[in-house]
């Protein structure tokens, strides 16, 4: 929370707009934090007084089991816990939800724990509900569906699906929970062909705030089914979810081309990309602006993926090949190996947990060569002035949206189906380096402000899984969706116990 951040020391210059945003965020974060203080409850005797199944594990700070049940992808603005429970059965999960709500114990139920919103930091001395035991994977080849638990990560479904002759749209990292990703909508490289991960959701089994177990689908609680596809963490704990999968096409081939881009080439590269927009449905790209410690220079790394055969991919990528960039890998991946091979295996490092990371993100539906080019220069100056931030990355996800945009906006709670680019500023610094931390925050706010001005949206927009925590609720969920979402929140979670991940109001406006 910004009300706890160190704002003293040698702060870099901020634009007036960035200062207004920073001060507003500081005030609102403090107000929000104060409004969610619960009376302190001694959790230990409450947990130990119950009869749990043999598979259920209760742990406390200082133990390895507690660390395993609470370790997060980022330690920035993390929740704090007095105890953790890893339910071994659905009945035990129901029991602990009823205990926590009846005793007013704040809790957070998590699968992969890759959420990075500052709103998680509003949970103090609460109860961690670890869902790692819910790790089943069931593939129904005849129905062309896969059913998974919240403890199943994205990467764990690749081989079972591929070996059975199927694929499924996913995000670009293997380590988050598949269910956790899809509850926010679930963007990814295949959204131009298949749409969002949430568009593949057939049904979900949930534990509600009242401790009831319900099945949610188009035919059972359809309003709630609408809501969990885009605002899903607000209404309960999903214990399993079923997705429609797709028969493999082109033998599961994905043609990949990756390149390094120097400072001298970057302007021409962005101009070429603009000429290729909008991207065809089968072609996606990701780009990193980062610091190369070997050359001691700022660089661009770019990944292109074409869902199909190599000859078709080369034709689609002809403008990029004509730039004569330095290639780092050009090869055909099978679908199940695509994410693991991204940028030569960068996800091994990107998925590392227990690291201090702060992130700002925003959506784009327009393309602005000049703004992209200017961001490279800003990152170059940032790396030169603050060596402690050289692990930071400015990431661009250029994902086609044909199939995503073809789904009627009214069908799900996901509000941003016209987005074509997702920009992510991933800030890293050494613990205790407040000067670099403050400079990174200032640059993040500056970049966000400048990109939003040319985004094609009237104000900042961001999809919920990427939201930082300082955005207005309309900027995350969309003004048109909020009246219905608020009404459903009041019905299913009137006491807002599921509200540490960008909680919804129970009334809007």
> DSSP of 86-99, one letter per residue?
E-SSHHHHHHHHHH
Separation of alpha carbons 71 and 458, rounded Å: 38
Mean pLDDT (whole number) for 190-215: 98
Nearest to 469 by CA among 181, 124, 116: 116
Confidence of residue 297 (pLDDT cuts 50, 70, 90): very high
Tokens for 103, please give them. 């005793």
Amino acid 30: pLDDT: 34
Beta-carbon contacts of 35 under 8 Å, excluding residues fewer than 6 positions away, are: none
How much of the chain exceeds pLDDT 90, in percent?
A: 91
Kindly report the average pLDDT of the chain as a whole number.
93
Tokens for 329, please give them. 């890998």
- pLDDT(215) > 70: yes
Nearest to 501 by CA among 39, 216, 77: 77
What does CATH list as the number for 252-466? 3.40.462.20
Separation of alpha carbons 347 and 406, rounded Å: 31
Separation of alpha carbons 169 and 140, rounded Å: 17
Q: Enumerate the CATH 3.30.465.10 domain ranges in the chain, comma separated.
A: 37-130, 137-248+486-492
Using DSSP bridges, classify how beta strands 107-110 and 126-130 pair: parallel, antiparallel or unpaired: parallel
260-295: pLDDT as tens digits: 999 999 999 999 999 999 999 999 999 999 999 999
pTM listed for this prediction? 0.91
**φ/ψ of residue 91, rounded to 5:** -60, -40
Separation of alpha carbons 484 and 227, rounded Å: 9
Contact 404, 192 (CB under 8 A): yes
Query: In what order do the strands lie in the sheet containing 126-130?
Result: 57-59, 81-86, 126-130, 107-110
Using DSSP bridges, classify how beta strands 357-364 and 326-334 pair: parallel, antiparallel or unpaired: unpaired
Contact 246, 157 (CB under 8 A): no
Q: DSSP class of residue 5? A: S
Amino acid 40: pLDDT: 73
Amino acid 34: pLDDT: 32
Q: DSSP class of residue 289? A: E
**φ/ψ of residue 364, rounded to 5:** -135, 140
Q: How many beta carbons lie within 10 A of that of residue 438, not counting itself? A: 22
Of 26-35, 99-108, 357-366, 418-427, which range is least confident?
A: 26-35
Amino acid 38: pLDDT: 56
19-69: pLDDT as tens digits: 433 333 333 333 333 334 455 778 999 999 999 999 999 999 999 999 999
Amino acid 204: pLDDT: 98
What does each C-alpha distance from 126 to 42, 121, 314 come to in angstroms?
Answer: 10, 11, 53
Residue at token pair 């089914």: 225
**φ/ψ of residue 289, rounded to 5:** -105, 115
448-476: pLDDT as tens digits: 999 999 999 999 999 999 999 999 999 99
Nearest to 257 by CA among 299, 186, 315, 171: 315
**φ/ψ of residue 432, rounded to 5:** 90, -10
Element (H, E) at 453: helix 434-453
Separation of alpha carbons 317 and 176, rounded Å: 30
Question: Can you name the CATH fold of 37-130?
Answer: 3.30.465
Question: By three-state DSSP, how is residue 264 classified?
Answer: coil
Q: What is the dihedral of CA 119, 124, 130, 131, to 10 degrees?
A: -40
Architecture label for domain 137-248+486-492: 2-Layer Sandwich (3.30)
Amino acid 104: pLDDT: 95
Contact 230, 415 (CB under 8 A): yes
How much of the chain exceeds pLDDT 70, in percent?
A: 92
Amino acid 509: pLDDT: 96
Separation of alpha carbons 403 and 307, rounded Å: 14
Beta-carbon contacts of 147 under 8 Å, excluding residues fewer than 6 positions away, are: 136, 137, 138, 139, 140, 240, 241, 242, 243
Q: Is the dihedral of CA 376, 339, 355, 128 positive or negative?
A: positive
Mean pLDDT (whole number) for 132-161: 98
- pLDDT(355) > 50: yes
Beta-carbon contacts of 218 under 8 Å, excluding residues fewer than 6 positions away, are: 225
- pLDDT(201) > 80: yes
Q: Is the dihedral of CA 10, 2, 479, 189 positive or negative?
A: positive
Confidence of residue 13 (pLDDT cuts 50, 70, 90): very low
């Amino acid at each position: 929370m910004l009300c706890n951040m160190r704002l003293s020391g040698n702060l870099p210059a901020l634009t007036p707009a960035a200062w207004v945003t920073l001060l507003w965020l500081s005030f609102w974060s403090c107000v929000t934090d104060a409004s969610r203080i619960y009376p302190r409850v001694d959790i230990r005797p409450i947990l130990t007084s119950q009869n749990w199944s043999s598979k259920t594990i209760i742990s406390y700070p200082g133990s390895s089991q507690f660390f395993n049940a609470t370790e997060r992808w980022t330690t920035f603005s993390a929740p704090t816990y007095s105890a953790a429970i890893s339910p071994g059965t659905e009945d035990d999960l129901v029991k602990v939800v009823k205990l926590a709500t009846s005793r007013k114990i704040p809790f957070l139920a998590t699968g992969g724990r890759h959420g990075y919103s500052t709103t998680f930091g509003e949970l103090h001395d609460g109860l961690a509900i670890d869902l790692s035991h819910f790790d089943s994977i069931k593939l129904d080849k005849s129905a062309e569906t896969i059913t998974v638990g919240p403890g199943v990560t994205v990467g764990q479904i690749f081989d079972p699906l591929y070996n059975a002759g199927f694929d499924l749209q996913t995000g670009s990292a293997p380590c988050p929970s598949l269910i956790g990703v899809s509850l926010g909508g679930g963007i990814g490289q295949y959204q131009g062909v298949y749409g969002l991960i949430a568009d593949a959701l057939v049904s979900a089994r949930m534990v509600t705030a009242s401790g009831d177990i319900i099945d949610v689908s188009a035919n059972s609680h359809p309003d709630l089914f609408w809501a969990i596809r885009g605002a899903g963490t607000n209404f309960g704990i999903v214990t399993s979810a079923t997705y429609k999968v797709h028969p493999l096409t082109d033998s599961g081939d994905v043609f990949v081309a990756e390149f390094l881009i120097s400072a001298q080439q970057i302007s021409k590269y962005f101009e070429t990309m603009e000429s290729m927009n909008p991207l065809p449905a089968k072609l996606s790209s990701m780009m990193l602006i980062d610091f190369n410690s070997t050359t001691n220079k700022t660089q661009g790394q770019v990944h292109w993926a074409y869902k199909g055969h190599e000859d078709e991919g080369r034709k689609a990528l002809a403008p990029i090949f004509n730039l004569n960039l330095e290639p780092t890998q050009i090869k055909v991946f099978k679908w199940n190996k695509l994410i693991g091979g991204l940028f030569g295996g960068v996800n091994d490092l990107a998925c590392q947990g227990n690291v201090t990371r702060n992130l700002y993100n925003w959506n784009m539906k327009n393309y602005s060569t000049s703004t992209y080019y200017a961001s490279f220069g800003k990152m170059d100056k940032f790396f030169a002035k603050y060596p402690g931030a050289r692990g930071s990355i400015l990431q661009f996800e250029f994902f086609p949206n044909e199939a995503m945009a073809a789904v009627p906006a009214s069908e799900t709670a996901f509000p941003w189906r016209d987005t074509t680019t997702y920009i992510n500023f991933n800030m890293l610094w050494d613990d205790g380096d407040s000067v670099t931390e403050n400079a990174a925050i200032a640059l993040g706010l500056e970049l966000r402000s400048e990109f939003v001005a040319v985004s094609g949206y009237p104000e900042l927009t961001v999809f919920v899984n990427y939201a930082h925590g300082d955005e207005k609720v309309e900027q995350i969920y969309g003004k048109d969706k909020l009246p219905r979402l608020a009404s459903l929140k009041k019905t299913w979670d009137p006491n807002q116990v599921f509200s540490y991940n960008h909680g919804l109001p129970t009334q809007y406006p």
